[in-house]
Structure 1
């Protein structure tokens, strides 16, 4: 069957990110004629979609909606607004069946199916096991687990399927879409080492999307993928896309050792947890090629950290900064994410966070970066329950359109922070 896989359009506001999910789907259906298209890499994305439909004449088109919006970033972009345009172009230029999937779709599957009648099928959660079965049973979708479909004017769901065993799944089909347009992006090409997250951060959707149990890919297989990217596709930098790379730490250590053993010339970044971060592990990271360490403590007091469901303490946060500051050179950069006004926030916590950031900036200068974010309320999370209890949202409220949490008692701190960030932006622009 002729299959066209399309990455959702992000509006041209950000550098394109390699569609790893589509590469995994393409790898799962090798017996079919697969074309992959990313509108985010071309100057005329919608016209490009028309052209590729005309060229490959697909019988089925799959669209991957990874994110509804830019979630917790300080600059909010609503990616979902372009889904309708993509679907309209597909529907008007071919008679192919349309499938939507991806993590963004899975969070709001029924709502999206209701809003867009052009969607024939919706892949819920992981697609590698669903997509091959769907291609076999297009006329009998009820036989395919984890699938939304239409029957008699109603939206139906076939029931949950089994989680993908990623250590036995084929590696991503990197050849399905050229890596060249993504090579200059810092974190544009991703490598996955596991799925699942056993941590309990209240705002995070990963536990719902991938489960609470870790499914590990063997370190040898992980580094095989890295080596193929470097040698065959000329990749010089990538990012580990795990929610947290160093949990379990033993798995991360083995991956680092395998990278060191093979002496692969590549640099990379990863999201890391400060509680499982020590001098020995930092040394291993840097030797293995890590040049960008990303922490997301999110809050800056033991009370706030506890409410946020973090497994961290203030001591973990401070000690990790000191470790990186004292034991790395200027090649290694450090990034932090904090929420401006999380539940439990106070004036003292807020100024403590600012002092920590100022101290880090003074000691590490251009090597350290900060993102100060708002909190996107998403279904299937602890933050959803907090927002419901506090009356920030109502029980039947649709969260497809971005809705944000801000501690009502300290909303003035969020306003203050936005003013400070605006001034910082103006100063940076003036100094260019």
Structure 2
């Protein structure tokens, strides 16, 4: 079959992010003819889609919806608004429309209800399931995990998933730092209260063979990418796998610069090893600033490890990003002020241009533990935030206004 792999538009100008999910699907569709189209790069997405359909003549359009909104407070950008134009372009086309992606997988029924042009929903990971669904579309018996047009396949072993096909989207369209992702594991063992990762990818790590990760990096290098980002929930767990992986990275000749999300408990001496293996930036997500908040948010490790690991990362030459939430259970105004103090302390003493702190607000999604606690049984499709109150809210609104003025969006 002819399959057009489409990344959904975002409805505004943003730094391009390589559609790694669609590249993973392309790697699994060796028996089919594939073409890629990233509508987030197009000024007129509907027209671009119609033109590619005319040119490529696909049997199936497989559309990826990465996020439904940008999780930003107090002004939230709704990515799904752009789907009206896309579904309009598909209205009179007679082929099959399959939609999936991380954001879509949280709300498949609701999105299919809003846009009935969608024929099939792929919930979760599609590398093994999509070829089976295509066989069903061609006339084979329906898989047991397909009901009423919604596919909920079991999560595959990472060892069974073919390598991504990075040829479907050209590297020249994604010049930004870390714009292309490399994945080493799926799932998570941690219990952060706001996170949907475990509901989407499973409770526990599914590890990719290190040799496959190395081949991915060699391929993105060959394709012309000058940097990449490890897109795992956390890069330094499990520890034995982490050590094996960074050792292998150190053996790659001319490895591009790379970054990763780290836990605050990463062994400090491993940061030197990471730098020698090509790492140039790391991100931490402590989210909170008090021990009470740490406990209530289900965080692992210790908050006391945050400053030493940030200081060490800067000392070895890494650019550091730190993410806090403006409010969380057990934290409001006093904690918010402590986060601003931490921000200025880190930037003044560790390097203003290479130490970045973001203070966001928790967007509550269905199936996250905190959402189930605060809004049991509610869908939370429209944005709902665990937001600061009173003076803290005024401070956050002012901070975000300044941020938008300087950085846009």
Fold-level similarity (TM above 0.5)? yes
Asked if 1 retains the 8 angstrom alpha-carbon contact of 2:286 and 2:303, the reply is no
Q: Distance in 2 between matches of 1:282 and 1:132?
A: 40
1:141, distance to aligned residue in structure 2 (A): 8.3
Q: Distance in 1 between matches of 2:169 and 2:5?
A: 10
Residue 315 of structure 1 pairs with residue 304 of structure 2: yes
Q: Distance in 1 between matches of 2:112 and 2:396?
A: 38
Asked if 1 retains the 8 angstrom alpha-carbon contact of 2:123 and 2:153, the reply is no
Q: Distance in 2 between matches of 1:173 and 1:186?
A: 20
1:208, distance to aligned residue in structure 2 (A): 0.6
Q: 1:212 aligns with which of 197, 203, 215?
A: 203
1:313, distance to aligned residue in structure 2 (A): 2.3
Q: Distance in 2 between matches of 1:359 and 1:170?
A: 45
Per the normalisation by structure 1, the TM-score is: 0.89
Q: 2:176 aligns with which of 178, 185, 200?
A: 185
Structure 1 counterpart SS, 2:11: coil
Change (3 A) 1:147 1:292: farther
Q: Which structure 2 residue ranges, 5 or more long, are not aligned?
A: none
Change (3 A) 1:48 1:381: same
Change (3 A) 1:220 1:72: farther
1:284, distance to aligned residue in structure 2 (A): 1.1
Corresponding position of 1:412: 391
Q: Distance in 1 between matches of 2:52 and 2:276?
A: 43
Q: Distance in 1 between matches of 2:258 and 2:252?
A: 15
Asked if 1 retains the 8 angstrom alpha-carbon contact of 2:361 and 2:385, the reply is yes
Residue 360 of structure 1 pairs with residue 375 of structure 2: no
Change (3 A) 1:368 1:142: farther
Which sits farther off after the overlay, 133-142 or 195-204? 133-142
Per the normalisation by structure 2, the TM-score is: 0.94
Q: Distance in 1 between matches of 2:294 and 2:43?
A: 43
Change (3 A) 1:333 1:74: farther
Q: Deviations over 1:132-175 (max 9, x none)?
A: 0111112778722444535xxxxxx56x4321222231100111
Asked if 1 retains the 8 angstrom alpha-carbon contact of 2:227 and 2:258, the reply is yes
1:193, distance to aligned residue in structure 2 (A): 0.3
Asked if 1 retains the 8 angstrom alpha-carbon contact of 2:45 and 2:86, the reply is no
Corresponding position of 1:255: 245
Corresponding position of 1:26: 26
Asked if 1 retains the 8 angstrom alpha-carbon contact of 2:90 and 2:117, the reply is no
1:383-394 alignment, distance < 5 Å: 383-388=370-375
Corresponding position of 2:194: 203
1:177, distance to aligned residue in structure 2 (A): 2.0
Q: Distance in 2 between matches of 1:139 and 1:48?
A: 27
Aligned residues: 406
Q: Distance in 2 between matches of 1:359 and 1:278?
A: 23
Asked if 2 retains the 8 angstrom alpha-carbon contact of 1:124 and 1:147, the reply is no
Q: 2:330 aligns with which of 325, 344, 353?
A: 344
Change (3 A) 1:43 1:252: same
Asked if 2 retains the 8 angstrom alpha-carbon contact of 1:198 and 1:214, the reply is yes
Change (3 A) 1:140 1:105: farther
Change (3 A) 1:106 1:423: closer
1:233, distance to aligned residue in structure 2 (A): 0.6
1:236-385 alignment, distance < 5 Å: 236-275=226-265, 277-325=266-314, 327-329=315-317, 332-363=318-349, 364-385=351-372
1:31, distance to aligned residue in structure 2 (A): 1.0
